[in-house]
Amino acid sequence: LHSSKKTYRRLEHHLMGIDIDKKHKRKVIRRSPRSDNVYLRLLVKLYKFLNRRTNSKFNQVILKRLAMSRNNKPPISLARLTKQMRSEDRKNKLAVVVGTVTNDVRLFDVPKLRVCALRVTEQARERITKAGGEVITFDQLALQAPKGQNTILLQGPRRARKAVRHFGLAPGVPHSHAKPYVRSKGRKFERARGRRKSCGYKA
């Protein structure tokens, strides 16, 4: 009985095939956004069409960014936008942001800007229009510049989140600049971490 069980297991293994390593097989490429927002999904539909029917790299990038997660669509401030658009060759061009444009109180004078964004905060919109600029949506952009002519594609800083400070090599390890998860900063809280065995480890 025991030998017949062994034979059956061998036969079963033979029938099932070899289990190869699937560790690196998973390719995650978003083709559509996770959001159920109807307007965002309509934009994806529009730019899928434009990407298919034009040979423009601009439409390809817009489509890719529309499907991205919120962390990869960071907001851009009005000050950063102004700084990016102040050079002479960008004066009359349209700034395109797949994300939110926010106000910046540190910026005193807003120049005349033409902006296309998924969302513009109320105060930022007010300041742009007051300076003689305009704010348009992506469906309007598709009519004005179907191939992205005279546009500058911009995005906010992706690594500006506080969580990013903790990424990388462990805190205290040589050449690490990661911030430790410490509940408080003071004499009693991980002051000698990495210096001796009694405090975490010895580096």
- Which residue has 């930022």 as its token pair? 124
HSE value, Cβ hemisphere, 13 Å, CA-based, for 176: 16
Instruction: Write out the two tokens for 202.
Output: 């010895």
Q: Which residues of 80-109 are buried (b: 16+ CB within 10 A; e: fewer)?
A: bbbeebeeeeeeeebbbbbbbbbbbeebee
Distance (Å, whole) CA 167 – CA 71 = 15
* Average pLDDT score over the chain: 89
* pLDDT of 24 above 90: no
Residue 147 to residues 51, 57, 111, 143: CA-CA distances in angstroms? Answer: 9, 8, 26, 10
At 47-106, the pLDDT tens digits run 999 999 999 999 999 999 999 999 999 999 999 999 999 999 998 999 999 999 999 999
Q: Residues 28-49: pLDDT tens digits?
A: 888 899 999 999 999 999 999 9
Amino acid at position 108, single letter: F
Judge whether residue 171 has pLDDT over 70: yes
Query: In this model, does residue 202 exceed pLDDT 90?
Result: no
- pLDDT confidence of residue 13: 57
| pLDDT exceeds cutoff 90 at 180 | no
Distance of alpha carbon 19 from alpha carbon 12, whole angstroms: 13
Percent of the chain with pLDDT over 70: 89
pTM here?
A: 0.79
pLDDT at 112 over 80: yes
Cα separation, 92 vs 122, in Å, equals: 23
pLDDT for position 5: 64
Q: What is the pLDDT of residue 148?
A: 95
The pLDDT confidence band at residue 8, using thresholds 50, 70 and 90, is low
What is the reported pLDDT for 174? 81
| Interatomic CA distance for residues 134 and 125, integer angstroms | 8
Q: Mean pLDDT, to the nearest integer, of 125-134?
A: 97
pLDDT score at 14:
59
